Structure 1
Amino acid sequence: MPPPAALVRASRGTDRRATAINHVRVDFQPGELTAIAGPSGSGKSTLMPCRAGLVGPTSGQVFVEDLEVSSMKQKQLTQLRRKEIGFIFQSFNLVPTLTAEENILLPLQIAHRPVDRDWFRKVVGVVGLENRLDHRPSQLSGGQQQRVACARAMMERPSVIFADEPTGNLDSRSSREVLGFLRQCVQDYGQSIVMVTHDPRAASFADRVLVLSDGSITQDMDHPTYDDILAVFAEHDDPDNGPVDVEPAAREA
């Protein structure tokens, strides 16, 4: 039986509350790349941290691998995130004084867990960083830095990876590199990846696209075409970011 839907409210001042997520019930399956899209204020940036246990729902439940995240204490949440959940951030969140290799291995070192060198070499090979491991972030391009962040998220082989606008700071070529890597993770390693994006190009790489508006899911699209996604985005022009870019984009497998 699916878990009860999550409801998240945020305070505004002392006596006003806004509903950020309104009774959303959704499951994310292994081996699937899901894009969450919607205009600013739609709730997409709240749904992801709620699913990851970073934000607790006002009511309802959140499950990861059959474990109820929404009822866990902070210590339990920390342990769960270290083992089952990976994060990729728009701003990369790399430590500037560490090399690419050190950044990738940092979560394992913090958790005092041994490094599986065979898996490390495989992940590094997938992201194409074999010749950049001794470089610091300032010596890497934006796309390379994001690939370091992707490799870091992969190292503990989490059940699910949450990516918050992973291509928001990248040029089109670097975006394709990162999105292609995320698809490869899903196809080759059975990862479940949930990506928040306002970019129809990025959404077109996904197997599934959820569209949020006013805290509710308004569309759940299975393997949509780029034109399908573009039509939906055009209906939800973002007043903060302006209308979507309607230039055609090639989808990479």
Structure 2
Amino acid sequence: MTLDPLAPSAAPGIAAATTDLTKVYGAHDTRVTALDGVSVGFREGEFTAIMGPSGCGKSTLLHCLAGLDTPTSGSVRIGTTELGTLDDRQLTRLRRDRIGFVFQAFNLLPTLTALENVTLPLAIAGRGPDQRWLDRVLAMVGLAERLHHRPAELSGGQQQRVAVARALAGRPAVVFADEPTGNLDSRAGTEVLGFLRDSVRELGQTVVMVTHDPVAAAYADRAVFLSDGRLVDELVRPTPERVLDVMRSFDARAAAR
């Protein structure tokens, strides 16, 4: 029997992980090491925030985990699937079937309705939605009255709700969110963070979010911290105050150099 290399892991535990992950851009005088030997795991059914100073490698780590960027060395796994062993077709299939992504800039198609944007990845894959699951997702993000509106008819917060629902619609193994509240006011940002947290608590989803905001990180079950491309700290059940303390320690180290 031939095993499907994209089949999800049968064993519960780690939804995504890296081992000795290194990412280098440029060469010689322009060489920049964005990630320097990062080994980290993200547990199933958990909301994790990735934090650190600007330029520390947060988004690079997220993009490597999601298969949107290729590591220089080391490994990335979704479940037990090693991304480095996949060809382009298999990697596209994995991103389509097992990964959801929420972008800071929403990335909605302006000519489609909210519902059409939510179900677009499924339509591209040639499969219909699990209607019971889709109904739960749409109810959770509160889109019932806006399903037939186009993005231009929605507020920024409503557009990001559509983006969250789109990421969840295919019931992925993990949802990655890159600064999902970066373009929102505080009220809309709070709503979106609540939806991400509820998707973990109510739907059993796994969410990994990059953020620079200590208040946003406090919605997570765990926060991991990068500095200069390395994993340097971790908090369980983070609060804004504890996150700020860790971030201040980075500032103190930078000032002492």
* TM superposition score normalised by structure 2: 0.88
Residues 1:160 and 2:167 are matched in the alignment: no
Residues 1:187 and 2:201 are matched in the alignment: yes
Deviations 1:132-181 (A, max 9, x none): 00111111111111000000001100010000000000111111110001
Retained in 1: the 8 A contact 2:129–2:170?
Answer: no
Cross-structure match for 2:25: 10
CA distance in 2, matches of 1:115, 1:56: 30
Candidates 60, 71, 81, aligned match of 2:95: 81
The worse-fitting range, judged by mean Cα deviation, of 120-129 and 162-171 is 120-129
Cross-structure match for 2:11: none
Superposed CA RMSD in Å reads: 1.6
Cross-structure match for 2:111: 97
The worse-fitting range, judged by mean Cα deviation, of 187-196 and 143-152 is 187-196
Identity of aligned residues (%): 54
Retained in 1: the 8 A contact 2:19–2:40?
Answer: no
- CA drift of 1:15 comes to 5.0
Retained in 2: the 8 A contact 1:162–1:195?
Answer: yes
Retained in 1: the 8 A contact 2:49–2:210?
Answer: yes
Cross-structure match for 1:208: 222
Query: Any idea what SS the aligned residue of 2:226 has?
Result: strand
Query: Any idea what SS the aligned residue of 2:40 has?
Result: coil
- CA drift of 1:235 comes to 3.4
Query: Any idea what SS the aligned residue of 1:220 has?
Result: strand
- CA drift of 1:117 comes to 2.2
- Which runs of 5 or more structure 1 residues have no equivalent in the other structure? 238-253
Residues 1:134 and 2:148 are matched in the alignment: yes
- Which runs of 5 or more structure 2 residues have no equivalent in the other structure? 1-13, 252-257
**1:152–1:3 CA distance, 2 compared to 1 (3 A):** closer
Cross-structure match for 1:219: 233
| 1:122 aligned partner, one-letter code | R
CA distance in 2, matches of 1:17, 1:198: 25
- CA drift of 1:4 comes to 3.3
| 1:111 aligned partner, one-letter code | A
- CA drift of 1:234 comes to 2.9
CA distance in 2, matches of 1:147, 1:137: 11
- CA drift of 1:118 comes to 2.2
Query: Any idea what SS the aligned residue of 1:28 has?
Result: strand
Query: Any idea what SS the aligned residue of 1:202 has?
Result: helix
Candidates 44, 52, 72, aligned match of 1:58: 72
Cross-structure match for 2:36: 22
Candidates 46, 50, 60, aligned match of 1:36: 50
* TM superposition score normalised by structure 1: 0.89
CA distance in 2, matches of 1:179, 1:4: 28
Cross-structure match for 1:178: 192
Query: Any idea what SS the aligned residue of 1:62 has?
Result: strand
Deviations 1:195-241 (A, max 9, x none): 0011111111111111111000111111122210121223345xxxx
Q: How many residues align?
A: 236
Cross-structure match for 2:10: none
The 5 Å alignment of 1:89-128 reads 89-128=103-142
Retained in 1: the 8 A contact 2:18–2:65?
Answer: no
CA distance in 2, matches of 1:199, 1:185: 20
Retained in 2: the 8 A contact 1:53–1:70?
Answer: no
CA distance in 2, matches of 1:3, 1:168: 26
CA distance in 2, matches of 1:119, 1:59: 37
Cross-structure match for 2:254: none
CA distance in 1, matches of 2:18, 2:156: 39
